[in-house]
Structure 1
Amino acid sequence: MAQFGTVEVYEEMARALNADPEWTGMQGVDITYTMVYDYGSPVDKAFFVRYEKGRVSEVRELESRGDIQADFVISGDGEVWRGVLTKTIDPTIALTRGQLSVKGKMSTLLKNMSAFKYIIDTMTTIELT
């Protein structure tokens, strides 16, 4: 169980992915990128995650939302993130509607869409408080 809007969500995601043979042996092996998950109001926090060849090697809360440097930055309102993580908002629809925005090399993102979707799907299994 993790408190929504905290680094606990990403720590739980890291534990789940690192213990998942599907992720470590197949889905994540081509993923060596850094990502920032940027939550707007009312959370107003950003979380950094480093993925390295099927492992989540670093998770941390950024000191400020302005300190965002990563291969990919996914940004959205805090309530949109809550909806994505609780499966009341489909992340693809949120992207299409502009509720979530992505900064980074889109060709890389599209090439690895299955793996990135796997990450989000794993995050939706985390019980939130």
Structure 2
Amino acid sequence: MAYNEYLVDRVSLFFREKGIHFNPKKMFGGFVFMVDDKMCVGVMKDQIMARINPDIYEASLEKEGCRSMDFTKKSMKGFVFLSDEAIDLDKDLNYWLQLALDFNPLAKASKKRKSSKN
């Protein structure tokens, strides 16, 4: 299993309860929740990936269970991985998911790749 389906269900439930429209996408070997065509939250193996405001990134890294997202061997400011210690309780998971949702309107969307049809 490339991603924890229970975590996907927990994130899906949070978004549905908030009335947030999201597009699920399998990418990076995990499951990503796209909100307004922007990567918002993902589930990678047994961790949550959250895209948060870069202004609170450094302070967030000091919280238990939060670390920089570095699967490309380089940390990406504003993207964090959250382990069980950070998201075990629903209130803790909801805190991080809300941070990601709060930043989403400010986040820049990825440039769409052009099709290379000849």
Higher relative CO (CA 8 A, sep ≥ 6), structure 1 or 2? Answer: 1
> Which one has the largest radius of gyration?
2
Q: Same fold (TM over 0.5)?
A: no
TM-score (norm. length: structure 2)? 0.30
